Structure formats: structure tokens, C-alpha cells
Amino acid sequence: MEKLPAARGGPPPILAITQGDPAGIGPEILLRLVADWRASAGWVPLLVAERAALEAVRESVPGAPWKRLIEVTASAKRAELIGAGDAIPLLDPVARAREVLPGAPGRADAEGAMAAIDQAFELVRGGLADAMVTAPISKKSIAETLIPGFRGHTDYLAARCGLERYGRDYLMAFLAGTLRVALVSTHLPLRTALDELSVDRIVEAGRCLAEHALGGGRLVVPGVNPHAGEGGLLGREDEEIVRPAVERLCALGIDAHGPTSADSVFARARRGEYDWVLALYHDQGLIAVKTAAFGDATNWTVGLPILRTSVDHGTAHDLAGKGRADAGPMKAAVATTLELLERGRRDS
């Protein structure tokens, strides 16, 4: 396993790492993540996963550290986990025998995915873990079989934290090397995202980013239209919505810029001209993030009172159980999480 940075200045942090969709590649990723983990790494993985899901991919991960997995409960103490040496704690959020079929998700898998999310959330909120790192879930499966209207980790965890509205209190953001991107809106149809775009929503998102992540740096807002509208020639949204929003952000003391042509702004941000890009809709930001750092970007929910990060990919049901899942993105997410924890310790 590649060396991951250890947090300094305190005891080893404990990361609650969820299984994601049990029928997806999440269980295999978790096993590959900890295959070579040792306590000397300076952090502790607390796997929040069904043993049934891990056993379902046993043949797919020949080097999995089965003998080092120790089952724990939510009543475990931090000192026990930190002092367990090279043992890897496993907390089964369902604790029942069942058959998991890799690549064939059903209601039981949606239930298992949500149970892992809820359990990890409680572990962090209760202080047993320092952060939660989530493997990918199937939003479609959960919405169709369990929670109608479910849109993903971000909104669900924000609601559990009591936050009121996307953009004002919390944001989906991505850390991709030198590129940092936050989103005004997330999993919405493009037409809906554009119809709901407003001065207030951009200002709310910018204020949230400034409060929780910007740190006095430079924020840029891309234009909606080609060339940021060419002064109205290619659409009025940039002059009537984006520019007034940027002006209001500047009036609040935020070093904000835009609207800037979206076809160049991400490259300029990677060069260091800006610290954050506030993308106006999901794919405007994610196309740039995944082009710049596919597999190495980390999804960070900015604004939550807990630290939650995730990988930048989906469940890959077509690969589940075939021994081809890549743990690299999860390793990158863990590394970024440790860096965020360390930064939080330095700033506190």
C-alpha cells in the first residue's frame, strides 16, 4: 500500500470507512485499502461494512487480511481501537447473515448502504471516529427501493446535521491536486439547475465556501454561457445573474472574480490564478475535475459539522466481484482526509 500521510500533534486519527453499495465495488475497495495497512501508518481504519458483503468478494481479493479483521461494536473505546496494533476493526452495521450478489443490487443492499452511512455518521458525531470516508452508493437503488427522492450522501448527511438548504449551509466540493471546485447545485437535471440559478443562490454558496474552505483566497465564478455571454450577445444570464452575485460577494469582503469564461477558468485555476472555482452546476465542475485528476480527486462536503469525504467514482456494478476494482481513489481520499484533519488541528 502506498504511504499515506499520518496526522501529527496528537493520537492517530480513526477514519470510519463505509462499504458503499454492498453489491458494488465498495467491499473489494475496502479490503484492498487495508491489505497492507499497519499501525505504523499513523491512522486507524474502522471498516463500517457487512461481513456478508466482504465475504461475497473473498475470492476476488486473494491478499485480503482476513485474519487481522476484528469485529467491534459502536460501544468500543478509542483507546481500544488505537491500541489494537495491526488488527483492523470491523463494525457490521447490519449484523445479519444474508447473501450479497456482486453486481446485482437490491433492497437489502440499499438498506445495508444506508445502515453503514448512518452508523459511520454516529461514530463521528459521538467521537469514536474523527471523520467518515464513504465508498460509492447507488442513488437510484436507494431512491427506488428505500428513500423516495434520495439524491446522495451530501444532502442526506446535511439533513442529518440539521442544515437547511443546499448552498447556504453546505456545498459539494472536490479537491483535485491544484484544482479546487465547489458546486452551486449538485444532482439536478441541467434544465432544473439552470432554471433555479439565481443571484441569491450564488451568493449563499460563495459565503459558505468563504466561511468553511476559502480561507481568504481567491474565488472565481465561471460564466453560464460560452465566453461568459460575450457581454449579452450569447445570453443574458451572466450579466443579469452571475455578475451581480460576484459584486455582492466582493461587497461582503470576499475576493471574488467573474463571470469568467468557463472554457479557460479551470486551467487558470490549476495554474494558481484562483484558489477555488465555484461551478454553477454539477457537470460544469465535474468534467473539469475528472479530466484533471480522475481517480485522484476527493469529494468533500464543505460546511458539515463533521468531516466527510468520498471517492470521485461510482459503484461500478459491472466490475463488482471480478477482482478488478482499483483502491487508488479510496487511498487518495484517505490521504486527503488525513491532510484535512491535520489542517484542522493546526488551525484550532
Average pLDDT over residues 276-280: 98
Asked whether residue 60 falls in the same domain as residue 10, the answer is yes
Cell numbers given for 324: 478488478
Q: Count of CB atoms within 10 A of residue 40's CB?
A: 8
**Residue 205: which domain range?**
168-296
Asked whether residue 119 falls in the same domain as residue 13, the answer is yes
Asked whether residue 274 falls in the same domain as residue 315, the answer is no
* Position 1 pLDDT exceeds 50: no
In 3D space, the residue among 101, 20, 31 whose CA is nearest the CA of residue 62 turns out to be 31
pLDDT-based confidence at 165, cuts 50/70/90?
low
Asked whether residue 90 falls in the same domain as residue 149, the answer is yes
% helix, strand, coil for the chain, step of 5: 45, 15, 40
Q: Edge-to-edge strands of the sheet including 276-279?
A: 69-71, 88-91, 44-48, 14-18, 131-134, 308-310, 298-302, 171-176, 179-183, 276-279, 218-222, 255-260
Confidence (pTM): 0.91
Annotate 16-72 with three-state secondary structure: EEECCCCCCCHHHHHHHHHCCCCHHHCCEEEEECCHHHHHHCHHHCCCCCHHHEEEC
Main-chain phi, psi angles of 89, to 5 degrees? -70, 135
Asked whether residue 3 falls in the same domain as residue 145, the answer is yes
Which of 280, 296, 312 lies at the terminal end of a domain, its last residue? 296
Strands 276-279 and 218-222: parallel
Cell numbers given for 213: 474552505
Asked whether residue 157 falls in the same domain as residue 192, the answer is no
Residue pLDDT, tens place only, 316-333: 999 999 999 999 999 999
Asked whether residue 139 falls in the same domain as residue 177, the answer is no
* Position 3 pLDDT exceeds 50: no
* Position 5 pLDDT exceeds 80: no
Question: How far is CA 194 from its chain centroid?
Answer: 24
Asked whether residue 149 falls in the same domain as residue 182, the answer is no
Annotate 295-337 with three-state secondary structure: CCCEEEEECCCCCEEECCCCCCCCCCCCCCCCCHHHHHHHHHH
Residue pLDDT, tens place only, 63-96: 999 999 999 999 999 999 999 999 999 999 998 8
The span from the CA of 235 to the CA of 280, in Å, is 15
Contact 271, 216 (CB under 8 A): no
Asked whether residue 32 falls in the same domain as residue 173, the answer is no
Q: Which residues contact 89 (CB under 8 A, 6 or more apart)?
A: 44, 45, 46, 47, 70, 71, 72, 76, 81
* Position 2 pLDDT exceeds 60: no
Which of 267, 296, 325 lies at the terminal end of a domain, its last residue? 296
Asked whether residue 217 falls in the same domain as residue 249, the answer is yes
Give the domain CATH number at 189.
3.40.718.10
The span from the CA of 199 to the CA of 252, in Å, is 14
Asked whether residue 143 falls in the same domain as residue 16, the answer is yes
Asked whether residue 102 falls in the same domain as residue 177, the answer is no
Secondary structure element (H or E) that encloses residue 204, with its range: helix 199-209
Domain count, the chain: 2
Which of 296, 313, 334 lies at the terminal end of a domain, its last residue? 296
